[in-house]
Each structure stands twice: as structure tokens, then as C-alpha cells.
Amino acid sequence: MKYLKVFSLFIIIHAVAWTGAHAYLDKNKEEILLVVDTSYSMKQKFPEIKAWIEDYEANSRYKKIVIGTDKALLGKLSELRRKEEIFRTAFGNIKEANLKRYNNNKGKKILLSDGTLKPEDWELVEF
């Protein structure tokens, strides 16, 4: 009987800890900024980038993902009707000046590009 009480206590403590962790992480989501290079040279990589974004979103339970391109900020990834909206235009080349609009972002910044531009304070994912 003593073992049953100890085991029950262990289960209750474990359940409370998981519930507390879930509540905390759900309220304090890490902000992630994903910026996609939509230059014309990246157009053939758009399906691969879309698959990467979908996989990243699926594995980011406690993260608030904001999506943008080198041309414009699109908003929260979860609020986009379709992922194809990210890739609706492809023109020009990516420039460091295009990324300056995202300098005020507090969270982690990830650039999805071909590696021609390597900005500071950004994590680069090359395609």
C-alpha cells in the first residue's frame, strides 16, 4: 500500500509540473521572424522553402512565428490563408538594406536564402 501512495504522489507531482510548464510556455512564446528571399534567382527553390517552413511550423509548438519576405512583412504565419502568399512575387535581388526594416524585431531572426547575403544577427538557412 505504501508503494501505491508513493507512486500516486509521484504521478500527481509529475502532472502538476507538466501542466505548469505547458501554461508558462503557452503564455511566453518565443518570437521567431522568418524572412524568405523572394529574389528571382530563388524562384526554383520556392517549393523546397515552402516544405521547410511547413516542417518548422509543425515542430514549433511554443513559438510565435512571424513571416516576411525581403520585400515586405506579411504577419503571423498562422494567420496566412495559404503558404503560397509568401511566394506571390519574385523579382530583383536581395539587399542588406531590404532587411533593415526588421531591425526592431526582438526575437530570433532566420533568413531563408541562397547564402549570397550573410547578415549579422541572423541565422541563415541556405537552399
Q: What angle do CA 84, 67, 40 make, to 5 degrees?
A: 55
Exposed, middle or buried, 9 (CB in 10 Å: 0-12/13-18/19+)? exposed
Q: Render each residue's pLDDT in the chain as its tens digit; 127 residues.
A: 888 899 999 999 999 999 999 999 889 989 999 999 888 888 899 999 999 999 999 998 899 999 988 888 888 998 888 888 888 877 778 888 888 888 888 889 999 998 888 888 889 998 8
User: Across-strand partners of 94?
Assistant: none
> For the whole model, what pTM was predicted?
0.79
- For residue 93, give the nearest of 109, 116, 126, 66 by alpha carbon: 116
